[in-house]
Structure 1
């Protein structure tokens, strides 16, 4: 028996609607809300929520003194195709050296690290 279930994962950012649109482009779903709080309702998964954070400073990856705090692992069928789409949506590669791994590390437009992972 559990005490709780995941309601949503919340990301602080400077522009909630823009960041919700970025993730909607990656994982699908419906963007709902305006202003300081925007939800992305993802079919079959927990919602992602985006909260306005004036003065948001993105984490640095990898840097022990500027911890990333958390990141999202997004499972994909084809790493190369998913990377192309993520970059077109505004992702920035953070770790492009080792292309042989089963994951690749990026930053979203607000600077939060996320991984595309081969399933």
Structure 2
């Protein structure tokens, strides 16, 4: 299986990206991403792992442990070849939504349970 994926980013929905990034910065010691802003803030770990926080209008926090409002998150994976990864993921049961905002550099998929995740070509 040549299309191995390496986890590169985790993105959380929230109402205030800068405040949530600051909480996790203080909790983890990760460095703020230099292009963070009020709508999308991020933290970077020494090994390159990125945690992002994206503003969602009308955000509703998860209702833990209940699932009235489920948890909001998605994964980003780096791959060497986007088309090879696409073929493998579809074969494994992922779906490819019609809306694809990443053009030729990254694609959105959903896992068999419907959770979205992104696949990014490493050279991009």
Could you tell me the TM-score, scaled by structure 1's length?
Answer: 0.51
Query: 1:71-90 counterparts in 2 under 5 A?
Result: none
Matches of 2:46 and 2:27 in 1, distance apart?
Answer: 13
**What SS is found at the alignment partner of 1:49?**
strand
Post-superposition shift, 1:50?
Answer: 0.5
Tell me if structure 1 keeps the 8 A contact 2:12–2:72: no
Q: Give aligned pairs, total.
A: 70
Structure 2: gaps spanning 5 or more residues: 74-124
SS of 1:66's equivalent in the other structure is coil
Q: Note if 1:42 corresponds to 2:45.
A: yes
Whether 2:50 is the aligned partner of 1:62: answer no
Instruction: State the Cα deviation string for residues 59-91 of structure 1 (Å, max 9, x = none).
Output: 111114433366xxxxxxxxxxxxxxxxxxxxx
Q: Distance between the aligned counterparts of 1:12 and 1:64, measured in 2? A: 16
TM-score under structure 2 normalisation? 0.49
Whether the aligned pair in 2 keeps the contact of 1:27 and 1:42 (CA below 8 Å) is no
Kindly indicate whether the alpha-carbon contact (under 8 Å) linking 1:29 and 1:42 is maintained by their aligned counterparts in 2.
yes
Which has the higher Rg, Structure 1 or Structure 2? 2
Instruction: Tell me how large the CA RMSD over aligned residues is.
Output: 1.9
Q: Is the 8 A contact 1:14 1:56 kept in 2?
A: yes
